[in-house]
A and B are shown apart, each in its own frame.
Chain A
Amino acid sequence: MLNFDVVIVGGGGAGMRAALEASKEPDLNVVVLSKTFPTRSHTGAAQGGINAALAYKDPTDSIEKHFLDTVKGSDFLGDQDAIEFFVSNLPECILELDSFGVPFSRDEKGRIAQRPFGGASSPRTCYSADKTGHVILHTLYEQCLKQGVKFLNEWFLLELVVENEEFQGLVAMDMRSGEIHAINAKSVVIATGGFGRMYWNRTTNAFNMTGDGTAACFEAGIPVKDPEFVQFHPTGLASTGVLMSEASRGEGGYLINKDGERFMSRYAPEKMELGPRDLVSRAIETEIKEGRGIGQGINAYVLLDLRHLGEKKILERLPQIRQLAIDFENLDPIKEPIPIRPSCHYMMGGIHVTDFRTSSTPVQGVHAAGECACVSIHGANRLGGNSMADIIVFGKYAGLGAIISAKNRAPGDPTKVEKRTRYWQEHFAAMRQKTTGNKVVTIRDTMAETMWYNVGIFRIEKEMVHALHVINQLLEDYQDCCIGDTSQYYNMAFIHYIETGNLLKLAKAVAMGAIARTESRGSHAREDYPERDDRNFLKHTLITKTNGQYKLDYLPATITKYQPEERRY
C-alpha cells in the first residue's frame, strides 16, 4: 500500500498545473501518476494558442467581451457564473505562465503576441508560433522539476475506489513491473484528458486519449455531464486526421471547395473562415454532401488554402503546420492548398464538476480538471484557444481544491482499496492466461466506425439508436476478450484492453445523451430536430451508472447575465 495526501492522475497540462499548486503546501505528500512520460501528454499537440483578454493586440478587448464570446460560442449552454470566473482569471494565469518561462511569441513592444481565432470578437489568442501547447507542457514539466514534484511515470489508473460517496483510494498498475498497487490518499485530481479515440482514426487525438479517468469516475458513480457534445475540428488532414491548427484560419487561411469558391460566405458571411468550429465543420460536411467536395465517401475533402499568406508569414507563424502538411500529406502549403476534413477533436462533456472554484465532483475528495471534466464553460461548443485556458485556470483551482480536501479529510479505508487491488491482480493474471475470446482491436474498430457513421457531425434518431444497439453488443463482446500477451512486464495489450473498455463505456453515454437531446445546439446537430429548443433543453445532460444501469438526468444551465439569443456569425 502506497500512501499519499494528494494523488494527481494525468501528467498533462491540467495535471501538472494542479501539481504545482498542490505541492506548494509543504506538509502535503503529493504525487503525479501518468500513463506516459509527462511531456508525451496530448497538451503538447495543442497548436494555435491560449485565450486571455490582455488587450495587447486590441486595446478595446475586455474580460466582458471574452465572457460574451464564450457564452455565445457555447450556444448558451455554458454556466455563466463559471465562465465569468474563468475569463476573469485568465490574464493573471497567462502572466504566471510567462513567469514560468513559457517562450511566447512577442509583439513589437515585447509583450505576449496575440492573434485572431474562431468565434472571438477580438484577437486575444496568445501564442508561441504554432506550438503553443508544446511549450506550455514542457514549461510546466520544468517547473515541476524545479519544485521537486514526485512523478510515477508509466503508471496506469485501473480504478477509483469510492464507497458511500466518499473517496477511499485508487488502484493502479506500474506498467514496467506489471505490479498492481493499492494507493491510499485523502484527495485525488483526475486530469486524464479527452476520449476522442472512440472515433479511432477519424480524430486529431493521440492514440492514448481514451478517457481513463472519466471512465473510472463514471464506474465509481460520478455522473458524466453533456457527453453528447463532441467537437469536430474543421481542419484535420484528409488522409490521417492530423490537426491543422485553427491558427491557419486565424492567420488568414481560406477554405475552398472544388470550384475554388470560398464557401464560408454561405454559412458565416461576416466571420467567414473565422466562424466557430461547430459551424465551420458543418459547412464543410454540407459542401461535401452536396457534391462540392473533392473525392468520394469517407475520402472526400475540401481545401485549406494558405498560399496567399506568402512564404514569410507561413514560415514565421505556421512553421509546424507547414511541416505536418509536408510530412503527412506530401505537399508544401506555400505552393499548394491542403486537403482537409473535419475530425473529432474535443469532448465538451466529461466528469460532472459541481463547484468550479475547487473543481470538485459530487464525491468528496475527488476533483477533476481539463478535457476529462465538464465544468461547464464550453457548453455545446468550445471556442479555439479556450481549452489550454481551461487547463491552466481549472488545473490550478483543482490543485487548491485538492489541498482543501486533503486537509479536511481522513485517508480512505485501506481494506476496501486492498480488496479491489486483489481483484485487479487476479484479473490481470487471468487475462494473461486466457487464450480464446474476442479481439480487442476488432471491438475498438467496430466502435469507431459505428460512432463516426452514426453519432458524428450530423445526427438522426434512427442511426443513433442503431449505434447504441451496436455499442451494447460490443460491451457484451468485451466481457469475453483475449488480449494475446502473457507478459507481466509492460503489457500494452492489457492496457489497450482496459482503454478500449473505457472508450466503450463512454461511447454508450455519448449515444444515449445524443438520442435524448431532441434539439440542435452547438456541436450537436440533429437533422430531425434542426432547431435549438431552449424551452426544453437549456439544461445539462447527466448520465450516471448505478448497479450496472445507465440513468439519464438533467440539470439546468446557469444563466446570470446573457439570455439566449440566436447565434449569428
Chain B
Amino acid sequence: MDKITYRIKRFDGTREWFQEYTFPYEKNKTVLWGLIKIRDEQDPTLNFTSACRSAICGSCGVRVNGNAALACKTSLDELLEIYQTSTLTIEPLSNYRVIRDLVVDWEPKLERMKEVKPWLIASEEKDLSLGFIQSEEEFHKISNPTDCILCGCCVSECTQHSTNSQGFYEPFIFTKSYRFTIDSRDNAPSQHLTPSLEKGGLWKCVRCMQCVTKCPKGVRPADHISGLRKESMGLGHQQNKGARHAYAFYDDIRKTGRLNEMTLPLKTEGLTKTLSRRIPLALRLLRKGKLNPLHFPRPVQGIEGVRKIYRLVQKEERS
C-alpha cells in the first residue's frame, strides 16, 4: 500500500459533508499523524482538537470507521490490517453536539457531571492541614476510575446513552460518581451516588461493555456502574426495580440454579404493575408455547455446586 485516504466528516456550522484526502503511507504512524499531515500540507481549514499526543489530555477522541478512538494512540497499521482497506472514515464523536468538523462541545456534559458532586467531600471535623491516612488497598480501589481522561470515547459508543441520552448518564459520569462514593477519604458517599440512581438511570446499563472496550486508558465504567449498584443496595436502596430485579436473579439461581421467568416480573415490578403491563405479553407468549404457567422449575443437576459458589463468595466478602 502506498497511499491512505481519510474520508472526513466536515461541518462548518450549517453545512455537513464528507471530504476525501489522500496522502502517502508511512509505517508506524497514528490516526492523529494523518490528521495533522492533512491540516499542515493540504487543508488548513480542517479542524480537530489535539494537544499532548501521548494519550493523557483527552482532546483527540474521534470516530474511525464507526468506532470511537483516541486519534493520537491509534495505530494506522493496525486499522489498515483490521479493515483491510486504505480508506478510513473519520467522524466526530457521537452523542455530542458538533462545533466544527471534528470538534465537539463538552460544556453540557460537564454541567451534567456536576450533579454527582465530582469532588471530595471530607468530614467537617477533619483537620485538612494534616492530609489523610489512606491504605494502599483503599488507594487501589480509586486507581482505575481516576485514570479517566475525559476523552468521551465511552459516551460515543454507549448503547443505552445513544437511545436514551436524557435518562442515562454518560459512562464517565458514573465513573466519577463511583470514584467519590468509594474514596475512603470521602464523608458523603450518598451525595455522589444518589444522583446516579435517581437521575442517571443506574440500573439501565445493558452491560454491552462498549465503554470498557472503547476506553483508551483501560478504565472500566461498566464495572463502576456495577460497583455503584452494589453500593446503592448497601446504602439501603433496595426497593427499586433494578435492585429487586437483581435480587430476583440472586434468589432464583441459589434456589434452583436457573431463572424462573414466570415470577421474575412479579418480583421486579410487583403484582399490580405486572398485571397491568405484562398480561398481553404473557398471553402472546402462552399462545406461542413459550410460557408454561404450570411449570415450576426444579433445582438443576449440580445445584450443590452452585450453592457452594454462593457460600464461597459470601465468605470472601466477609473476610
B118 contacts chain A at the CB level, 8 A cutoff:
yes
Tell me the complex Cα distance, A109–B131, Å. 13
A427 contacts chain B at the CB level, 8 A cutoff:
no
Q: In this complex, what residue of B is CB-closest to A440?
A: B44
Among A93-116, those with CB < 8 Å from B are 94-96, 98-101, 103-112
Cross-interface CB contact of A39 among B49, B114, B149, cutoff 8 Å: B149
Instruction: Find chain A residues with CB under 8 A from B131 CB.
Output: 94-95, 98-99, 111-112
B73 contacts chain A at the CB level, 8 A cutoff:
yes
The answer to whether A493 touches B120, judged by C-beta atoms less than 8 angstroms apart, is no
Q: Which of B100-108, B200-208, B274-282 contacts A (4 or more CB under 8 A)?
A: B100-108
- Interface digits, A140-167 against B, CB 8 Å rule (1 contact, 0 not)? 0011011000000100000000000000
Given contacts A39-B149, A42-B52, A487-B12, contact A111 B130 (CB under 8 A): no
The answer to whether B119 touches A110, judged by C-beta atoms less than 8 angstroms apart, is no
Given contacts A111-B133, A487-B12, A487-B100, contact A99 B128 (CB under 8 A): yes
The answer to whether A106 touches B128, judged by C-beta atoms less than 8 angstroms apart, is no
Cross-interface CB contact of A243 among B54, B103, B126, B183, cutoff 8 Å: B54
B243 contacts chain A at the CB level, 8 A cutoff:
no
Instruction: Find chain B residues with CB under 8 A from A423 CB.
Output: none
Instruction: Find chain A residues with CB under 8 A from B150 CB.
Output: 39, 138
Q: In this complex, what residue of B is CB-closest to A494?
A: B44
The answer to whether A489 touches B139, judged by C-beta atoms less than 8 angstroms apart, is no
The answer to whether A42 touches B51, judged by C-beta atoms less than 8 angstroms apart, is yes
The answer to whether A490 touches B128, judged by C-beta atoms less than 8 angstroms apart, is no
The answer to whether B56 touches A45, judged by C-beta atoms less than 8 angstroms apart, is yes
The answer to whether A492 touches B47, judged by C-beta atoms less than 8 angstroms apart, is yes
Question: Nearest Cβ in chain B — how far from A212, in angstroms?
Answer: 14
The answer to whether B146 touches A138, judged by C-beta atoms less than 8 angstroms apart, is yes
- Interface digits, B88-115 against A, CB 8 Å rule (1 contact, 0 not)? 0000000000011001001100100010
A550 contacts chain B at the CB level, 8 A cutoff:
no
The answer to whether B57 touches A41, judged by C-beta atoms less than 8 angstroms apart, is yes
Q: Chain A: interface residue count, which band? A: 35 or more
Given contacts A39-B150, A129-B143, contact A324 B55 (CB under 8 A): yes
Tell me the complex Cα distance, A328–B30, Å. 9
B2 contacts chain A at the CB level, 8 A cutoff:
no
B304 contacts chain A at the CB level, 8 A cutoff:
no
Given contacts A45-B54, A327-B55, A330-B28, contact A490 B99 (CB under 8 A): yes
Tell me the complex Cα distance, A131–B110, Å. 22
Question: Nearest Cβ in chain B — how far from A355, in angstroms?
Answer: 25
Cross-interface CB contact of A106 among B40, B122, B139, B183, cutoff 8 Å: B139
The answer to whether B132 touches A99, judged by C-beta atoms less than 8 angstroms apart, is yes
The answer to whether A489 touches B13, judged by C-beta atoms less than 8 angstroms apart, is yes
The answer to whether A176 touches B99, judged by C-beta atoms less than 8 angstroms apart, is yes
Q: In this complex, what residue of A is CB-closest to B54?
A: A242
Quick one: which of A139, A207, A330 has the most chain B CB within 10 A?
A207
The answer to whether B118 touches A145, judged by C-beta atoms less than 8 angstroms apart, is yes
A531 contacts chain B at the CB level, 8 A cutoff:
no
Tell me the complex Cα distance, A330–B75, Å. 10
Instruction: Find chain A residues with CB under 8 A from B52 CB.
Output: 40, 42, 44-45, 206
B314 contacts chain A at the CB level, 8 A cutoff:
no
Given contacts A489-B100, A493-B45, contact A37 B106 (CB under 8 A): yes
B134 contacts chain A at the CB level, 8 A cutoff:
yes
Instruction: Find chain B residues with CB under 8 A from A109 CB.
Output: 133
A240 contacts chain B at the CB level, 8 A cutoff:
yes
The answer to whether A100 touches B99, judged by C-beta atoms less than 8 angstroms apart, is no
Question: Nearest Cβ in chain A — how far from B75, in angstroms?
Answer: 8
B59 contacts chain A at the CB level, 8 A cutoff:
yes
B129 contacts chain A at the CB level, 8 A cutoff:
yes
Instruction: Find chain B residues with CB under 8 A from A92 CB.
Output: 129
Given contacts A327-B73, A489-B12, contact A240 B45 (CB under 8 A): no
The answer to whether A441 touches B135, judged by C-beta atoms less than 8 angstroms apart, is no
- Interface digits, B177-188 against A, CB 8 Å rule (1 contact, 0 not)? 000100101100
A484 contacts chain B at the CB level, 8 A cutoff:
yes
Q: Chain B: interface residue count, which band? A: 35 or more
A317 contacts chain B at the CB level, 8 A cutoff:
no
Question: Nearest Cβ in chain A — how far from B108, in angstroms?
Answer: 12
B50 contacts chain A at the CB level, 8 A cutoff:
yes
B16 contacts chain A at the CB level, 8 A cutoff:
no
Question: Nearest Cβ in chain A — how far from B59, in angstroms?
Answer: 5
B136 contacts chain A at the CB level, 8 A cutoff:
yes
Tell me the complex Cα distance, A108–B122, Å. 22
A450 contacts chain B at the CB level, 8 A cutoff:
no
Tell me the complex Cα distance, A101–B184, Å. 10
Tell me the complex Cα distance, A199–B16, Å. 36
Tell me the complex Cα distance, A110–B137, Å. 9
The answer to whether B120 touches A100, judged by C-beta atoms less than 8 angstroms apart, is yes
The answer to whether B106 touches A239, judged by C-beta atoms less than 8 angstroms apart, is no
Tell me the complex Cα distance, A267–B183, Å. 45
Question: Nearest Cβ in chain B — how far from A387, in angstroms?
Answer: 15
Question: Nearest Cβ in chain A — how far from B312, in angstroms?
Answer: 27
The answer to whether B54 touches A328, judged by C-beta atoms less than 8 angstroms apart, is yes
B251 contacts chain A at the CB level, 8 A cutoff:
no
Question: Nearest Cβ in chain A — how far from B37, in angstroms?
Answer: 11
Tell me the complex Cα distance, A398–B310, Å. 58
Tell me the complex Cα distance, A142–B119, Å. 5
A124 contacts chain B at the CB level, 8 A cutoff:
no
Among B280-314, those with CB < 8 Å from A are none
Given contacts A101-B120, A145-B114, contact A110 B57 (CB under 8 A): no
The answer to whether B51 touches A206, judged by C-beta atoms less than 8 angstroms apart, is yes
Question: Nearest Cβ in chain A — how far from B184, in angstroms?
Answer: 9
Given contacts A142-B119, A240-B53, contact A103 B139 (CB under 8 A): yes
- Interface digits, A477-521 against B, CB 8 Å rule (1 contact, 0 not)? 000000111110110110000000000000000000000000000
A135 contacts chain B at the CB level, 8 A cutoff:
yes
Tell me the complex Cα distance, A39–B191, Å. 23
Tell me the complex Cα distance, A484–B38, Å. 13
A122 contacts chain B at the CB level, 8 A cutoff:
no
Tell me the complex Cα distance, A109–B136, Å. 9
B265 contacts chain A at the CB level, 8 A cutoff:
no
The answer to whether A95 touches B53, judged by C-beta atoms less than 8 angstroms apart, is no
Tell me the complex Cα distance, A106–B75, Å. 35
Instruction: Find chain A residues with CB under 8 A from B99 CB.
Output: 176, 489-490
Tell me the complex Cα distance, A107–B136, Å. 7
A381 contacts chain B at the CB level, 8 A cutoff:
no
The answer to whether B73 touches A106, judged by C-beta atoms less than 8 angstroms apart, is no
The answer to whether B44 touches A142, judged by C-beta atoms less than 8 angstroms apart, is no
The answer to whether A485 touches B120, judged by C-beta atoms less than 8 angstroms apart, is no
Cross-interface CB contact of B103 among A41, A94, A153, A490, cutoff 8 Å: A490
Given contacts A101-B119, A489-B100, contact A207 B132 (CB under 8 A): no
The answer to whether A96 touches B129, judged by C-beta atoms less than 8 angstroms apart, is yes
The answer to whether B44 touches A324, judged by C-beta atoms less than 8 angstroms apart, is no
Question: Nearest Cβ in chain A — how far from B97, in angstroms?
Answer: 11
The answer to whether A101 touches B47, judged by C-beta atoms less than 8 angstroms apart, is no
The answer to whether A207 touches B50, judged by C-beta atoms less than 8 angstroms apart, is yes
6 contacts between A and B (CB under 8 A): A99-B132, A100-B120, A104-B134, A104-B139, A105-B136, A493-B44
Given A39-B149, A135-B146, 13 other A-B contacts at CB below 8 A?
A: A37-B106, A40-B49, A45-B52, A96-B128, A99-B131, A99-B132, A104-B139, A110-B136, A328-B54, A440-B44, A489-B13, A490-B99, A493-B45
Closest 8 CB pairs of A and B: A101-B120, A95-B131, A99-B128, A110-B133, A98-B131, A484-B44, A146-B119, A206-B51
